[in-house]
């Protein structure tokens, strides 16, 4: 029995491990959905991935922030100026570039496959408020 376990262990560590991306676009969308740095909790709870287009080398996402409406006057908690999109991108880059994607199989696998992530962030009124891309070039 010990020999079988030892052989299994040795064969497991001698072959490269390839993580498989869990299936289902809903899980992928939930994993790749950004947390807007500087935004209040209520604004971040309103964030959802509206569109997700994936190919072998890139993923295009449209992210809707439901609590931001550019057709209305600015309100305290929903003020667009509170959100730091550069720090939001830095947070996503940190997850994308981290070993094992900080425990997220999607980020880990996408980095291994050199997949570029393209984010388009829009307000509820469908007005673009930010866009950025994340790829292996962002990893230092």
Structural domain includes residue 80: yes
Residue 10: the pLDDT is 43
Structural domain includes residue 4: no
Phi, psi (degrees; rounded to nearest 5) at 23: -80, 160
What are the residues whose beta carbons fall under 8 Å from the beta carbon of 82, sequence distance 6 or more?
38, 39, 40
Structural domain includes residue 38: yes
3-state class (DSSP) for residue 113: coil
Enter the pTM of the model.
Answer: 0.77
Question: CATH code at 106?
Answer: 3.30.300
Residue 14: the pLDDT is 44
Cα dist from 137 to 1, 12, 52, whole Å: 47, 31, 22
β-bridge partners, 63: 49, 121
Structural domain includes residue 31: yes
Structural domain includes residue 27: yes
Domain containing 95: what range? 21-138
Averaged pLDDT, groups of 10, the chain, 140 residues long: 47 45 71 91 91 91 86 66 89 91 84 95 90 93
Structural domain includes residue 114: yes
């Amino acid at each position: 029995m010990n020999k079988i376990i030892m052989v299994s262990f040795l064969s497991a560590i001698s072959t490269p491990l390839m993580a498989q991306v869990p299936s289902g676009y809903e899980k992928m969308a939930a994993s790749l959905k950004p947390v807007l740095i500087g935004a209040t909790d209520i604004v971040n709870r309103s964030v959802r991935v509206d569109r997700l287009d994936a190919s072998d080398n890139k993923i295009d996402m449209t992210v809707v922030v439901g609590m931001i409406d550019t057709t209305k006057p600015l309100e305290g908690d929903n003020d667009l100026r509170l959100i730091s999109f550069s720090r939001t991108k830095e947070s996503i880059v940190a997850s994308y570039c981290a070993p094992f994607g900080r425990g997220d199989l999607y980020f880990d696998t996408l980095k291994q496959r050199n997949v570029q992530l393209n984010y388009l962030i829009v307000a509820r009124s469908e007005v673009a408020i930010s866009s950025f891309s994340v790829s292996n070039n962002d990893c230092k």
